[in-house]
Amino acid sequence: MGNQQKKKKKKERKKNKKIDNMLNDPNQKKEVKILILGTGESGKSTFVKQIHLIHKDGFDTKTRQRFRVAIHFNLIKNLQDLIEGLPLIRKSVSKPLTEVAENFLQLNPRTNFTSTIIDVVESLWADKSIKKMYERRSLIQIPSSTNYFLDSLHRISKNDYLPNDNDIIMCRIPTTGINQVQFEDQGLQWSLIDVGGQRSERRKWIHHFDNVSIVFYVIALDEYDQALYENIEINRMTESLDLLSQTLGNQIFRKTPCFLVFNKLDLFQKKIKKVDLNVCFKKYKGGKNEEKALNFIYKTFKKSISSKKRTVNCFSSIGTETENVSEVLQQIQESVKRDSPHILSSLNQI
């Protein structure tokens, strides 16, 4: 028994030495290809944006100008959606704002910000009923970052406004097509491929399954009481669980290591105090206990793709915090080197 353990350790040391030599050899540049998957609004694209800040040169002026347009559009559209959602909670704006709200609903979200529009937005956002609707936003399709931009109205409506890094991280733009970012770190070339999470985009995933080193699957923890944008009859977390099971059940991914990233931990921690997880999972009996709810979610997702031939690692994250994402990425990179040496030994040379 002792001899077998010694042989096993010797074999591991030999393999690790080989990998270290490979990583330190400038002529042996290897690529780790990571496919980032998840449903729409899980936070996949936020991770990619964070990587631009952590490992690239950030965002150029052209990109910031593009996000300025998206931020202004989203602000008006999201406020319109909040107004339209008021009947769901049997509320309406205060009487002095009734006509103002009706006129605002007719506004083209692509309109330029004027002093009049700024005043209207400010007065509507101050309305108690609209604030209440924002608290109940799980009933409608409203991004959690809506309040961030509405609270920053005067800053982002200035003529010379150019989004800062945090504005870009917080801005929601649905991914259509493919978004890829590459960087070098720890002697490896890391290539992350983000594809659209909406149902209409998922058919494109199959073209990026070849030579994938790792599947990076992002789950939004706070979506357990929300419905899909495409179908309000389907729970978002249930959809995410089904998609994970279907995707990793593909023969192509039979042995591919998977990293489950449970995102939006901060929003989940606030929500679980008010909304029981059993609105999504009827078998859950832990009440509004954060630790019990998290463990139940972790086990449920991990169980759905359990396999003796696949390594599954779980991480929690707050995608809007650069430092947190940096720590998660570092943990994943260390995990690849520590627990999945076969990935490194079978990488494609570039």
CATH of the domain at 152: 1.10.400.10
Residue 52, in any domain of the structure: no
* 253 and 330 both lie in a single domain: yes
* Per-residue model confidence (pLDDT) at position 167: 98
* 20 and 124 both lie in a single domain: no
Does the pLDDT value for residue 19 go beyond 60? no
Please tell me the distance from the alpha carbon of residue 163 to that of residue 234, in angstroms, as a whole number: 34
Domain that holds residue 164: 61-170
Residue 31, in any domain of the structure: yes
Does the pLDDT value for residue 126 go beyond 80? yes
* 16 and 127 both lie in a single domain: no
Binding-site residues for Mg(2+): 45, 175
Binding-site residues: 41-46, 175, 194-198, 263-266
Highest mean pLDDT among 2-11, 206-215, 225-234: 225-234
Lowest mean pLDDT among 20-34, 225-239, 279-293: 20-34
Mean pLDDT of the residues in the chain: 86
Q: What percent of the chain has pLDDT over 70?
A: 83
* 293 and 190 both lie in a single domain: yes
Lowest mean pLDDT among 21-25, 101-105, 112-116: 21-25
* Per-residue model confidence (pLDDT) at position 15: 46
pLDDT band at residue 231 under the 50/70/90 scheme: confident
Q: Which two tokens stand for residue 132?
A: 């209440």
Domain end among 113, 143, 170: 170
Q: 259: closest CA among 310, 327, 207, 189?
A: 310
Please tell me the distance from the alpha carbon of residue 204 to that of residue 277, in angstroms, as a whole number: 32
Binding-site residues for GTP: 41-46, 194-198, 263-266
* 89 and 148 both lie in a single domain: yes
* 154 and 96 both lie in a single domain: yes
Domain end among 170, 195, 222: 170
In the predicted model, what is the mean pLDDT of residues 57-77?
Answer: 95
More confident residue, 28 or 103: 103
Number of domains in the chain: 2
More confident residue, 255 or 315: 315
* Per-residue model confidence (pLDDT) at position 227: 87
* 67 and 163 both lie in a single domain: yes
* 26 and 72 both lie in a single domain: no
Highest mean pLDDT among 30-39, 130-139, 210-219: 130-139
Put simply, whether the predicted model's pTM sits higher than 0.85 gets the answer no
* 220 and 288 both lie in a single domain: yes
* 134 and 211 both lie in a single domain: no
Residue 46, in any domain of the structure: no
* 204 and 137 both lie in a single domain: no
* Per-residue model confidence (pLDDT) at position 331: 86
* Per-residue model confidence (pLDDT) at position 22: 42
Residue 54, in any domain of the structure: no
* Per-residue model confidence (pLDDT) at position 73: 97
140-181 confidence digits (pLDDT tens): 989 989 999 999 999 999 999 999 999 999 999 877 777 788
pLDDT band at residue 23 under the 50/70/90 scheme: very low
In the predicted model, what is the mean pLDDT of residues 185-196?
Answer: 81
Residue 49, in any domain of the structure: no
Any idea what the CATH number is for the domain that residue 222 is in? 3.40.50.300
CB proximity list for 5: less than 8 A, separation 6 or greater: none
**How far is residue 93 CA from its own chain's centroid?**
33
Residue 133, in any domain of the structure: yes
Please tell me the distance from the alpha carbon of residue 193 to that of residue 109, in angstroms, as a whole number: 31
Domain end among 120, 153, 170: 170
